Structure 1
Amino acid sequence: MASMKLNGGVALVTGASSGIGKDVCFSLAEAGVESIVLADLNLPDEAILKECERFSSHPSFRATAVVVDVVDEANVNDMVQRTVADFGRIDYCVHSAGISTKRSPTSDLNVEAFDKIMTTNSRGSMMVLRAVTHAMARQEPRSYTSTRSNTTRSLGRGSIVVIASINGMISAAGMMPYTASKHATIGIAKTAAVDNFENQIRVNIVCPSWTDTPMMQRGIEYFPALGPAIQKLCPLGRTAMVEEVSDAVVFLSSPAASFINGESLVIDAGFTLTGFRLAH
């Protein structure tokens, strides 16, 4: 079978200071990338870089951190240009930067809050995909040779994985801004996949449900009933471990997923299949 090892290459991860984005960096390092650029609105600290180095399996591993505001066009372009200038190319991009919102019924929505989350989550996704696909389209494709069949397949010019949410697949009461932004993010990513068929750039999406991250913990602090609700609604009776999401990201980035493109991988223990039944 094709390997989930990445065997070198350069990765760019947004939202890398915490949560899923941070753990994705650890998983990519463990899977064998040669270099990772950790990008976030809050500069990833030295401790995160050292953790990446500790988990890394590539002998020449390097990790560096940059500040990026994903809604700022010049800022995003500079992040991508600096990555290419410093490392030569971008083989893997994981776009994890995003924000959530407090619950509010449609009739009481704060318009400014709606605009902010749409700008960060949706426009930010467009900005990152626009800049990264532009750079990837100008680099040479990579290939993978199977040790079992001794056949070689193209890995294309790069792989992009966008972190969305099951809120991009279903609706949730009081969550219109977040739900709308994640539906839009999935549409943006799928269109980018179609637009880049000829460029041999794969774009996939992961859609996790409740995941044990600082953002999730803040949600439970704000809405304490959420904890017991998750235990009731999730078929496994718990939140996803962050590594369960980052492992899926590595799979979609790896040679094992070389024929997967434009897909939304739901990571929810079956909640979207059974949630309505369990809730009633």
Structure 2
Amino acid sequence: MHFMTVSIFPSLFEGFWNYGILRRAIESGILHTTAIDLRRFATDKHMTTDDRPYGGGPGMVMKPGPLVDAIRWAKSISERSRCILMSPQGRVFTQPMARELSAESSLILVCGRYEGIDERVVHAVIDDEISIGDYILTGGEIPAMVVMESVVRLLPGALGSEYSAASDSFENHLLEHAQYTRPAIFENEQVPDILLSGHHQKISHWQLESSMIRTFLKRPDLLAERRFSAEEIDILKSWRKQLDSFIDRSDILGAGSLSGQKS
């Protein structure tokens, strides 16, 4: 895959690409990167890439000429490139979108600044718009980094283990299970015995149930979109059985004893 970024601060990406998974992907030839300096495409001696908005208002707007020229130059390198504007008005980025983008051969990520970009750029050369959340940042560089790291993790061979990507949170609408490492006891809290047992089948079952519990407590909306396996349905049935026993016990004790009612 080839990532190309269009920014007035291209050096921000050079440091980002020099660490961790992205660096390993570049060194192994899985990933290619190009940081495009938007100011190179300015036509005046001051290398101006922004101007005052028509109609008035605060701030500045990025000029269409340099942006369109930079993007068309990037597309000349790879005609099949998909051009994405990092924008608060775009589709909210999700794990399924990351998987969708990982199938592309080349992505151009356009990083806006100031009040945004001239709308005619969107009409001329932008294929898609992506937002990483409902909040405002100074520019599109950090959102572009978020998209890149998420997508690169899904490229074959980018991680040490294919299982790593498949078991991440949000894959298949489940959060990742609880994780533990040495020491076995930390501040009087012990690692669950099952994880020390060496029984791989039981450990796998525990991890699945842990994942389901964390998703139910923290992101129950994800479960509404999940098609449960037979093992997961058995886990849900066991939860229901335990809940029924709590309800039966409550009925025996009397509802008032649990609700705090005074006799």
Q: What is the TM-score when the length of structure 2 is the normalising length?
A: 0.31
Q: What is the TM-score when the length of structure 1 is the normalising length?
A: 0.30
Structure of higher CA gyration radius: 2
Higher RCO structure (Cα 8 Å, ≥6 apart): 1
